[in-house]
Every structure is written in C-alpha cells, then in structure tokens.
Amino acid sequence: MATLILSAVGTAIGGPLGGALGALIGQQFDSALTGRRKIEGARLKELSVQTSSYGSPMPMHFGTIRASGSVIWATELVEHQERSGGKGRPSVTNYSYSASFAVAVASRPITGIGRVWADGNLLRGEAGDLKVGGTMRVHAGHGDQAPDPLLAQAEGAALNPAYRNTAYVVFEDLALADYGNRLPSLTFEVIADDGAVSFAGVISAVDETIGTTNLDAVTLSGFTFDQGSVADIVPVIGEIAPLVCTVENERLMLGLAGGTTGAELPTLPPPCAGGESAEDARQNGWARRREALPASQQCVVRYYDIARDYQPGLQRSLGRSEPGDVAHIELPIAMSAGEASKVADNAARRRTEARDSLRYRVTEISSVFSPGAIVRTPVTEGSWRIEQWEWQADGVMLDLAPVPAVIPLSVAADPGRANPLLDLVPVPTRLVAFELPWDGSGSGDAAEIRLAASGETAGWTGAALYVQGEDGSLTPAGSTGRRRAVIGQSLSAIGAASPLLFDARSSVDIKLAAEDLALTNATWAQLMQGANTALLGQELIQFGRAERVSGRIWRLSRFLRGRGGLEHTVADHTVGEPFVLIDDQLISPSTAQAGALTGITGGSAIAAIGLGDTVPATSTIINPGLTTRPLAPVHGAMKLQADGSALLRWTRRARGAWGWPDGVDAPLAEPSELWEVALGPDSNATQVWQTAEPKLIVPAAIVQSLSSPPVANFSIRQIGLRSKSLPLVIAMQV
C-alpha cells in the first residue's frame, strides 16, 4: 500500500523520476514489514582490474574508498638500453621498459590520492613515495583544471582534453620491470572528501532537487557507486537505517525513519468511533493487528574492510536461520568489522519482526497527517508512519505502520587476519667498495672487488651501479639487488695490536646502518674457519664477541688482527671509518649483475643511485690492488760475513695460502720467483738488486761504504705478475 501512495506522491511532486523513487521507497517500507524485500541498488564489487573500454561508467566516490580506474591514455612501451663491459671485458646490454599512461578514477572532484596498489603490491606509499622509478601526478577533477603537460606535449594542445570534471592520475615513465614489462592493474585509495561523509551529502551530490532530513546523523568512511540516480542509493541507505519519504513545500524529502525524537513528533487527535456502517474500529475508533512472527533469517553483509586495506570483508548476523536462503547484502561502503556486524544484526532483526499495523479513525484532516508523516498516537507507544488515508462517511481512516528504531553502529567484531603490505619509505643508499685478498680459488689474476650496499630501513630496495672513472665518466655496472649488507661506521678508534697474537684487550664501538641489522658472537673454532671477518677502515679483522649497547650501536672485542696480509694497517685507525661484515650479502664481480666491475682500476670509484637517493652514493675502492699484490716477506735477517760482505735472508709468503693443512711448502702463486732489494729510502734508492731466491749477498765494498747515516735500510719486495709487494725493511747497523 505504501508503494502505491508514495508512487502517487512522488509523481505529483517530481514527475516520472519522483514516481519511481516514491515507489521504490514505498516498496522498501512494505517489505520491511512483510519481510519479503528484494531491492537491488549500488553493489559492492571485488577490487576489479582497471579497464579501458569506451562507454564504461565512471563511478562517484565519497569519503575514502579503494577503487580501480579506467585507462584513458597510454604510450607504447619505451625500451631503455644500458651497456656495460668493454676494454677487454664482454659487452653486456641490459634492457628495461617503462610506459606513461593516465587512469581516470572518479566522475566528481576528489581531494587527493593516497596509496596505490599495482597487481596487489604497494606501488605508492602513504607518504606519497613511489616504490619503482617514475613520477605520478594527480588531477582532482575540478571544472577548471588545466591539461596535463605530458599529455599536451604528446598529443598536442588542440587534441588534448583537460578531462574536466573527471579526476585522473598520470604516471610518467613508470618502470615496469616488477610487473612483467606490462601495464599493471592498479587500484587507488581515493580520498574524495576530507573525513567522513554523510548520506545527506551523498544524496545532494547526486540529485540536488531531493531534500534530506536527519540524514546527517549517518556518516560513512567511504561510499562508491556507478553513475545513476538516487534510486540506486536508497536501498543501500535503507540497510543501515530505515528511511521515510515525505513532502515539504512541494519537494520530495528523504529522512531517517525514527530519526526524530518523540517530543518533536506531532500527535494524532483522539480516535473517534465509527457509525453502524464502519467495518473496522467500530467500538473505540482504533484497532491494532499483529501477525505471527515470520521465520528467522540470517543476513550476511559484504563490505570494504578498512582494517584490511579495503579488501572485501564479510560479517554474519547473530543467531540461527530457519531453512531457506541466507540474505546477502552488498554494501559498497568502507566500514569497520564492528559496523558491518551491526548492520547484519539490524537487518536480520527487521526481517524477523512481526507485521504490526494500526487502523486509526480521525474526524479532521491536516497536511501534518498526510501519508508518509511520522506521528505519535495517544493510544500506543512509539513512533508510527502514516501509510495511507481513506475518506469514509464518518471520518478519515488512517493506516499506520510502526517505525523501527535507529540503532548506533558500534559493536565488537573480528575483521579476520590481515597481512598488510609493508609501506616503507625509500631511504638513501649506503655504499662501501673494497678489494679482498685472494682466497686461493681460481687463478687469482683478477681483482676480488666487493660492494657492500645497504640502507637505514627495509625500504631500501636496491640501486643501480656505475663505475666512475678517473676522468669522471660513468659506466653502467648492473644493480645491487635488494639484499642489504651489514655495514656501519666506527664510533671509536681501535688501538694498535700485534697481528701475531690474539687481541683480548681492544674493543671498538660500531654504529650499524640500521637497527634491524645484527652481529653475532663466534667461538675460537669458528674464528679459525673464518667466521666474523670484517673490514674496519683498511684492516681486515675477526671478532669473537659482539654486544648490542643500544639501538644500532654494537661493541666488538676479542680480535684477530691484520688478517689477509694487512699487518701494516693495524695502527692506522680513526673515528668514523667504515665497517663491513664480510658475508654472502656482498656484491661480487663474479656475479652476472656486477660483471662490469671486473678489471676496474684502483683510481676508480663506484656510484649507486636508488629511489631514495637525491644524489648518488659514491665510494672509492679501499685497498686497491690487494688481490693481485704479493704478500710482503717476513723473518728478515742480516749477517756479516768473514770477508766483510753481508748476507740478507727472508721468508716468502704466497697469496691465497692462508692455511697449512699438509705442512708442505705453499705454492708460489706467481709465474716465477723474483725479488727486488733496494738500499736506502724508497724514493731515492742508491742501489737496487734483483734475485730469484730469498737471499742476497751484499758486496763488502758496499757494506764498507755505508758510513753515513749510521743505519742502512734494505727494502725487500717480491715482484709479482701484476705488482710488487709491500717492503720488508732490514736495518743494518754499520
């Protein structure tokens, strides 16, 4: 009956659209009483992929919601080439691809765009940072917005629309390597309004001719629907709060049923008894009828769960359901699990309420008591809605229906376990490049360069590598990958110690690059196997104890010093020198991605550029030439002979021979054995000899000529294939 009444009222006020809207609202009222409601409005959708089809409706968004978009412009894939190698090394060409495109997201102005997901992975963080290379611009969709400069440049000013009244996002030169070199499927966190939005604001934005009363009391975090009319919104609102349709000043008004307090409602005059011809309410002028309770029915609400990055969630009403289908309610609304659970409970309660009606006779008529009005009666409690009136010979018979109460949406519920994506802002690259001594594997003729790259947080996602030559030129050298090395810098200077003894006295404080990086202890047996080897300044050390002092600060102690033939570096330490843990997180030139680093010179520097780098991170190579440089000889001695000559002796050491498993003399690790002995200072040697064995006889005439200074120094170096060793100095007392 309400369907017929409100359809007629709506047609009189608003024409065909008003009639359809009145019929729809009336059907809602009838079905709320009978429990047989089947109205479909705006529906919740899965987070569908973006489209690019002509004629696709552009949705309207309110509040904050997650939605896909429609690609409205795109370029072809752009191929980028990066060559590395050359100068005796294989030439390698790496290809990468990018694209520029625009995606329309809303048909009404928005405030901005929050996070962006690409193929389900986070592309843009909450701080506005892109996780891959490229730039992003947001056009809010106002009527006076200017054309995007990229689109204007690509298409020409005459052919490029400004897409006014359409909110869209432009991606320029977006790197596609992480998405299979194709345009990813994007979803956007659309911030259409600042804060929550009320149903009154939604209805006024869709149709300004329809008024609202009390709808400001129902606010939503987010709401979306494809373009349509208010008739598509009413069923959605009705699932949260029952509605009433009235007419005020020839304008159709929507409001909350029961949203007005009892003190503000008009009260019907006392009922009057009818005459002998009256078939109903004959005795006292009113009659109340309540039918049997309908079968209970469970309701399931599907919605966009705010706690799960707006993924579709589901909440079920309490209680059991009678045999039959469960009522499924699709709400394209962003809400919490508690709010959705309360909506489900309220919908189930309305479907199981008994049909209650009241017939009430009055002898006077007023526009205040027209169909659709909410009133109180002197014979019953609660609020009642006038569904229809009927003129009779002895008065006006009103048919009334109870108005359900509006229950606040607040209840505890479980949204389910979520696995939110990490949203870490890209941070600058920390880079240390150095050369290691030969470990005995392979030929030992190429430099063993290692790169330690890291960042302050896990938001560091790697960087592109370049070799910076002595002339400033940059040569591509692959990338670092995403693994972070354990690096830091010293907060104190470690003291000098003998490389021949276990250093149990010294300690050094290290500040690591990130708090989630860690160091561990090592036993003596583990140290003998090479555990906890690290670069500190120019020295290679091994530490047995690592103790976290606070946060990123660690204290190291129990050292083996001067490892790898670097005994000369044990006394050259300062505050602030680099620290690198030697492990498998380092980038090796033997890998394909860093193959271009092979054979670089000691004067070269390494540069790294990542997403968080405003300027390139650079590092000169520490200990250049260390791999191919022969080890300095040891155990030097001099003995004067009877004929006045002097016999110099020393013991050689071989590169890569750090262990002595069989007790046999280590191999030479050079094409031939050759030694250089210089008399006097390095810069001005007075005499130089070469010998093929670790000894040399200095003639008596030279020994006798050494009268000033009183001490003569002999510097002994091994001549290797690539370079000479550091000198062993033997002082001769004349």
Q: What is the pLDDT of residues 609-654, one digit of tens each?
A: 999 998 999 999 999 889 889 999 999 998 888 888 889 999 988 8
Question: Which one, of 571, 526, 562, 580, lies nearest residue 653 by Cα?
Answer: 562
Amino acid 690: pLDDT: 93
Question: Which one, of 558, 556, 527, 557, lies nearest residue 658 by Cα?
Answer: 527
pLDDT band (50, 70, 90) for residue 603: low
pLDDT band (50, 70, 90) for residue 52: low
Question: Which one, of 407, 266, 372, lies nearest residue 29 by Cα?
Answer: 372
Distance CA 416, CA 393 (A): 62
Mean pLDDT of 348-353: 78
Q: Which of 450-464, 614-628, 658-672 has the lowest mean pLDDT?
A: 658-672
DSSP SS3 for 574: coil
Amino acid 551: pLDDT: 92
pTM of the model: 0.73
DSSP SS3 for 193: coil
Question: Which one, of 418, 368, 425, 422, lies nearest residue 398 by Cα?
Answer: 368
DSSP secondary structure code for residue 303 in this structure: E
- Range with the largest mean pLDDT of 120-134, 230-244, 655-669: 120-134
Distance CA 122, CA 129 (A): 10
Residue 607 has pLDDT above 70, yes or no: yes
Distance CA 65, CA 100 (A): 25
Over residues 381-424, the pLDDT tens digits come to: 888 888 888 888 778 888 888 876 655 555 556 677 777 778 88
Amino acid 136: pLDDT: 96
Over residues 246-262, the pLDDT tens digits come to: 777 778 888 776 555 44
Residue 152 has pLDDT above 80, yes or no: yes
Amino acid 89: pLDDT: 55
Q: What is the mean pLDDT of the chain?
A: 82
Q: Which of 17-21, 499-503, 553-557 has the lowest mean pLDDT?
A: 17-21
Bridge partners, residue 688, by sequence: 678
Mean pLDDT of 282-311: 83
Identity of the residue numbered 333? I
Amino acid 2: pLDDT: 45
Rounded to 5°, angle at Cα 24 from 192 and 372: 100
